[in-house]
C-alpha cells in the first residue's frame, strides 16, 4: 500500500513534470510560429513594425506578378469626354468635372445615366487573366467622389444612386477569387470634388481654403479636411477593406496638400484592417524632401525609366491617351508597343499596370480587348521571361532587353540580327545552354575574344514584338 502510494505520488509528479515540459514546449512552438509566420504590427505609437523578411513575404505576390490591370471606371464613362456638346481639352476623361467646373448638383445627375447592365465581372477578370495579368486595380472612388461600391458613408455611390443598384466590386471580388487574381482598390484620398471639406472643388465650395501666399489653388489647404476624412474617406476605406475579402493593395493617388499625419492615418487604417495589404507611394508626397510612405513607388504615368532601378516600383500606363473611357480617343498603342513596354519595365525591375477604361454600359471596347488578347498570346509563350524576374544585370542593350531569374538570363530581342549572329554581353559563368523560349530549340554559341557570347540564331525572328532567347548558366551570376 505504502509502495503504491509512493508510486502514485511519483506518477503524479511525472505527469505534472510532463505537462509542464510539454506546456513550455508548446508555448515556445507557438512563439516560434508567430515569429515565423507573423506579420508586421502597429505599435502603441502607430508605427508599423516589420522585419525585412516580413516585408519580403508581403511583397512576394506583387514581385512575382510584374503585370497588372488598371481599370478607371466611374460616372465619367457616361460623359466620355463630352459635356453639353463640348469636348474636353485635357486628355483624361475622369477629369471632366473639374475641366468644365460642373456643379456638384449637375454632376450628380449623371448617376441616373449609369446603368451598366452588360457588366460581367467574370468576363473582365478572365480578360485580365488571359492577358497574363495577376492583379486588378480598380477605381473604387476617383476624384469626382462617386463610389463604385455600396457605401454607408455616402449615398453618392453606385448601389444607392443608380438604377443599376448592384455592387460591381462585390462581383469583381468573387470573380477574382474564382480565377486567382488579386483585387486591389484605387481610392482618391485627398481630392473629392463632391465634398466641401475635401481637396479639389474650388468652384462649388470656394470657402474653407487657407491660401498660402504665392501658391495656386491646388496648394491651398482645406481647413476642415479632417471632417471629410472622418465622415467619408476613412469610413469608405474601412468598407473597402472589410466587405470584399482580402485586398491585394490600396492605390492612393494625388496626395496634394494632405499632411504627413493625415497620410499616416490612411496608411494605418490599411495596416490595422488588412496587415498583408500593400500600399502604393502616392499616399503622401510633399515638398522637395518628399518622403515615400507606402510599400512601393511608382513612376510618373506612362514614364518608363531609362535605366535599371533598385527597389519596388510600378508604372501605370494608358492603352490610349486617357484613363477613363473617352469616345473620341482612338490613339491606341499597338500591341507590339504594349508588349515591349511590359518587357522594358520588367527589365528595369518594375511592374506594369496597364489601364483600360470600360464604357458606361459595362463593356470593354473592342480595341482594348484586341490588344489584351495579343499580349496574352505573347505571354502564353513567353511569360516565364516576365513572372518573378528581376531587373537586367546589364545596361540597356542596343537590340533589346534582358530579364533574369535564378540561373537564367532572358534576352528579349526587338531588332533581330540580319547576319544570324546575336552578340550578348559577357558573363564569366560557364554556359549550360542557350535556346529559343518559343520552341526550346538549342542555339549554338561561341565566346568572342573579349568574352562576349555570340549566338547563332535562325534567319527570322519568331515574334515581331519580341523573340526571347534563354541563356542558362552555372552557379551565381558573375559579370
Which residues are near ligand JFZ by CB under 6 A?
Answer: 92, 94-95, 253-254, 300-301, 316, 323
Distances (CA, A) of 64 to 69, 71, 91, 282, 293: 15, 21, 32, 22, 22
Q: How far is the CB of 76 from ligand JFZ (least distance, A)?
A: 9
Q: How far is the CB of 165 from ligand JFZ (least distance, A)?
A: 26
Of the pair 83, 435, the CB lying nearest ligand JFZ is at 83
Neighbouring C-beta atoms of residue 381, cutoff 10 Å: 16
* Nearest partner of 364 among 70, 14, 31, 68, judged by Cα: 70
* Bridging pattern class, strands 453-456 and 445-447: antiparallel
Of the pair 115, 254, the CB lying nearest ligand JFZ is at 254
Of the pair 256, 437, the CB lying nearest ligand JFZ is at 256
Q: How far is the CB of 344 from ligand JFZ (least distance, A)?
A: 18
Of the pair 72, 359, the CB lying nearest ligand JFZ is at 72
Of the pair 94, 192, the CB lying nearest ligand JFZ is at 94
Of the pair 94, 195, the CB lying nearest ligand JFZ is at 94
Q: How far is the CB of 39 from ligand JFZ (least distance, A)?
A: 29
**Distance in angstroms (rounded) separating the CA atoms of residues 389 and 406:** 8
Q: How far is the CB of 187 from ligand JFZ (least distance, A)?
A: 11
**Distance in angstroms (rounded) separating the CA atoms of residues 267 and 251:** 11
**Distance in angstroms (rounded) separating the CA atoms of residues 195 and 122:** 33
Q: How far is the CB of 359 from ligand JFZ (least distance, A)?
A: 17
Of the pair 226, 301, the CB lying nearest ligand JFZ is at 301
Q: How far is the CB of 326 from ligand JFZ (least distance, A)?
A: 12
Of the pair 253, 295, the CB lying nearest ligand JFZ is at 253
CB contact at 8 A, 425 and 394? yes
**Could you give the 3-state DSSP secondary structure of residue 16?**
helix
**Could you give the 3-state DSSP secondary structure of residue 358?**
coil
Q: How far is the CB of 310 from ligand JFZ (least distance, A)?
A: 19
* Nearest partner of 275 among 69, 34, 14, 17, judged by Cα: 34
* Bridging pattern class, strands 249-252 and 278-279: parallel
List, as one string, the DSSP characters of 160-173: HHSSS---HHHHHH
Of the pair 228, 252, the CB lying nearest ligand JFZ is at 252
* Nearest partner of 429 among 479, 386, 364, 394, judged by Cα: 479
Of the pair 39, 254, the CB lying nearest ligand JFZ is at 254
Q: How far is the CB of 35 from ligand JFZ (least distance, A)?
A: 38
Give the residue at shortest CB distance from ligand JFZ.
Answer: 300
Rounded to 10 degrees, the C-alpha dihedral 152/153/155/158 comes to -70
Q: How far is the CB of 92 from ligand JFZ (least distance, A)?
A: 5
**Distance in angstroms (rounded) separating the CA atoms of residues 89 and 281:** 29
CB contact at 8 A, 343 and 387? no
**Burial environment of residue 453 by CB neighbours within 10 A (0 to 12, 13 to 18, 19 or more):** buried
Amino acid at each position: 500500500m505504502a509502495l503504491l502510494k509512493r508510486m502514485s505520488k511519483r506518477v503524479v509528479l511525472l505527469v505534472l513534470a510532463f505537462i509542464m515540459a510539454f506546456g513550455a514546449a508548446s508555448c515556445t512552438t507557438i512563439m516560434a510560429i508567430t515569429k515565423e509566420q507573423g506579420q508586421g504590427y502597429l505599435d502603441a505609437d502607430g508605427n508599423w513594425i516589420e522585419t525585412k523578411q516580413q516585408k519580403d513575404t508581403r511583397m512576394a505576390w506583387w514581385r512575382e506578378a510584374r503585370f497588372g490591370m488598371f481599370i478607371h471606371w466611374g460616372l465619367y464613362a457616361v460623359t466620355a469626354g463630352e459635356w453639353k456638346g463640348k469636348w474636353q481639352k485635357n486628355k483624361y476623361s475622369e477629369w471632366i468635372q473639374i475641366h468644365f467646373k460642373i456643379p456638384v448638383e449637375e454632376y450628380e445627375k449623371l448617376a441616373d445615366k449609369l446603368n451598366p447592365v452588360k457588366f460581367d465581372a467574370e468576363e473582365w477578370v478572365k480578360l485580365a487573366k488571359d492577358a497574363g495579368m495577376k492583379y486588378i486595380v480598380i477605381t473604387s472612388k476617383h476624384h469626382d467622389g462617386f463610389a463604385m461600391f455600396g457605401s454607408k458613408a455616402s449615398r453618392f455611390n453606385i448601389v444607392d444612386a443608380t438604377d443599376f443598384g448592384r455592387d460591381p466590386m462585390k462581383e469583381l471580388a468573387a470573380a477574382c477569387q474564382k480565377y486567382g487574381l488579386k483585387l486591389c482598390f484605387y481610392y482618391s484620398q485627398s481630392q473629392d470634388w463632391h465634398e466641401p471639406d475635401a481637396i479639389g472643388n474650388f468652384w462649388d465650395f470656394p470657402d474653407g481654403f487657407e491660401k498660402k501666399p504665392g501658391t495656386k489653388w491646388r496648394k491651398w489647404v482645406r481647413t476642415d479636411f479632417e471632417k471629410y476624412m472622418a465622415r467619408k474617406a476613412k469610413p469608405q476605406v474601412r468598407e473597402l477593406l472589410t466587405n470584399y475579402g482580402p485586398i491585394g493593395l490600396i492605390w492612393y493617388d494625388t496626395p496634394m496638400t494632405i499632411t504627413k499625419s493625415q497620410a499616416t492615418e490612411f496608411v494605418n487604417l490599411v495596416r490595422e484592417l488588412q496587415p498583408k495589404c500593400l500600399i502604393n507611394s502616392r499616399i503622401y508626397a510633399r515638398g522637395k524632401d518628399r518622403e515615400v510612405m507606402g510599400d512601393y513607388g511608382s513612376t510618373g504615368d506612362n514614364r518608363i525609366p531609362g535605366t535599371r532601378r533598385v527597389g519596388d516600383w510600378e508604372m501605370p500606363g494608358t492603352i490610349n491617351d486617357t484613363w477613363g473611357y473617352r469616345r473620341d480617343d482612338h490613339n491606341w498603342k499597338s500591341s507590339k508597343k504594349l508588349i515591349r513596354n511590359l518587357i522594358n519595365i520588367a527589365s528595369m525591375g518594375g511592374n506594369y499596370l496597364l489601364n483600360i477604361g470600360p464604357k458606361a454600359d459595362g463593356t470593354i471596347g473592342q480595341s482594348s480587348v484586341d490588344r489584351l488578347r495579343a499580349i496574352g498570346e505573347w505571354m502564353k509563350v513567353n511569360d516565364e521571361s516576365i513572372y518573378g524576374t528581376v531587373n537586367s544585370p546589364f545596361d540597356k542593350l542596343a537590340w533589346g532587353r534582358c530579364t533574369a531569374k535564378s540561373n537564367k538570363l532572358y534576352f528579349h530581342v526587338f531588332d533581330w540580327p540580319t547576319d544570324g549572329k546575336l552578340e550578348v554581353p559577357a558573363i564569366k559563368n560557364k554556359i549550360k545552354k542557350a535556346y529559343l523560349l518559343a520552341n526550346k530549340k538549342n542555339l549554338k554559341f561561341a565566346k568572342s575574344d573579349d568574352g562576349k557570347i555570340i549566338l547563332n540564331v535562325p534567319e527570322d525572328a519568331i515574334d515581331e514584338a519580341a523573340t526571347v532567347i534563354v541563356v542558362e548558366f552555372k552557379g551565381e551570376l558573375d559579370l
